[in-house]
Structure 1
């Protein structure tokens, strides 16, 4: 069942850039074994998520999500920090890949507003559910008010909740408008909005669309494509938060968040994109590296 409200993207297989560097069969096999090991560990420790203290739970979840990135050969580079400060916040980001939610949680574990289908995804669905996700049935408009009320209650209760307001995935070189519905929950909850911009690039600085989860492909096909990529880097830009009351209504709030994400990615009003920075500008280092100049923190 579909309806005019259902998010749609024109991106498809034609957006995937050919010629991305690939690892050999042996490296792919090693990555697959590592991914299975991380999955097995996650399943074994899942019961602990319900009994350990919040700080230990966050560290455990962060370790699992970082393990997923490492298993797939993805290097995480973070600019800024997602602060909790003991209150809730709506964390919004552009949506490109299934890796998005892994990357955001590798920076700061949080609840998510996710489409109902994700609950049935192998492994990732279980992790997202155990992290306290709020699921949205996009095919039932009648369920939207109840879901937004649940989201507002979670925000009011002090939770960080990740939302992808574009509503569907885009290739990264094109993007969609931020839909305003979820921003009403931030207004009702009296919490700030924290925009986060995501970009996928190769080690030499070239932006790549290969991690995008678009078109009619299955999740397995997308997993295989990421598994063979060499030198994939996920950049996370944490933008300044938008304080409660700054926008007159949810549409203005959505526009402010969208503009912040576009500015972080170097996207002009006409859609032109500034080339991604090269590693010479932002160097990746092992996960135990604590600081970089000014506000840039790098994690593997």
Structure 2
């Protein structure tokens, strides 16, 4: 892992991690055009709908946003499957980060608030959806703002919200990943909230892993979108693992290491055997 500053990791994955042209199955021209038309229609619907969602109850808002996120994914031709159970209340979801699609996939399965970089607010569709869910936006250029961000996440957890974060801090290709940064885990410790590790795996129709949806380096959102709508059989597997329950006085660093081992380690082997592997038992996460 490389670092642009004290708390801004920079992935070692770049455009070379993407599939070679012609190496992935492509959708036909008619289907690609249909996806673009459908996505445009859903985007227009989302732009109109999101402001109307804000006054609704948390449950109703979550239901509407899950429908919208699912509709965007369907329009783009992206299938997604949930394995395991995602929390509905009072938990911190921690997931690996591959693509801008990660946000939509998580929102399609759980009424989560997100922790996202400030730039996401200006992204089409994703930005409004994220804002409507009560996303906590963090300015990564201001390290002094980090304690306040952690406190805001802890407050959301205490209020019973589900908060989803990508503790790698940036996107990776999916075949490799980054270290889970521990800061946000302090929010779960402070709030006494469970941590639910979630692994996102991108595959093609034949079941093979693919990096085609990865959003890396100098890649633009438009270029990534073009790859997504052009590929045939893109599927995202969402593997939710049993919750980790930090004990009082737990170490955020130890909790981050355990969550990372669940997402990056056991899950990779478990896919090859067709079922989830039990995460490590957390006996004691006190600071060493």
Flag whether TM exceeds 0.5 (same fold).
yes
Matched residue pairs, number? 271
* Match in the other structure for 2:105: 103
TM-score, normalised on structure 2?
0.90
2:202 to 168, 185, 200: 200
Of 182, 185, 207 in structure 2, the residue corresponding to residue 183 of structure 1 is 185
Q: Distance in 1 between matches of 2:106 and 2:232?
A: 21
1:132 Cα shift?
0.5
Aligned residue for 2:200, secondary structure, equals: strand
After TM superposition, the structure 1 stretch with the greater mean CA deviation from structure 2, 38-47 or 130-139, is: 38-47
* Residue 32 in structure 1 maps to residue 36 in structure 2: yes
Normalising by structure 1, what TM-score? 0.86
Do the aligned residues in 1 keep the contact of 2:50 with 2:128 (CA within 8 Å)? no
Given the alignment of the two structures, is residue 66 of structure 1 paired with residue 66 of structure 2, yes or no?
A: no
Matches within 5 A, 1:110-189: 110-189=112-191
Runs of 4+ in 1 over 4 A off after TM superposition: 274-277
Secondary structure, counterpart of 2:82 in structure 1: strand
Q: Deviations over 1:124-149 (max 9, x none)?
A: 11111111000111111111111111
Render the CA deviation track for 1:98-126: whole Å, top value 9, x for unaligned.
Answer: 00011011111210000011011122111
Q: State whether residues 189 and 250 of structure 2, in contact with CA within 8 Å, keep that contact through their aligned partners in structure 1.
A: no
The corresponding residue for 2:79 is 75
Q: Aligned with 2:108: secondary structure? A: helix
Pairs within 5 Å for 1:285-300? none
SS at match of 1:161: strand
Unaligned runs of at least 5 residues, structure 1: 268-273, 283-300
- 1:260-271 to 2 correspondences below 5 Å: 260-266=262-268
Structure 2 match to 1:14: 16
Report the RMSD for the aligned CA atoms in angstroms: 1.8
Could you list the runs of 5+ residues in structure 2 that have no partner in the other structure?
Answer: 276-288
> How many angstroms does 1:186 deviate by?
0.6
Structure 1 pair 247–92 and aligned structure 2 pair: CA distance change class (3 A): farther
What SS is found at the alignment partner of 1:107?
coil
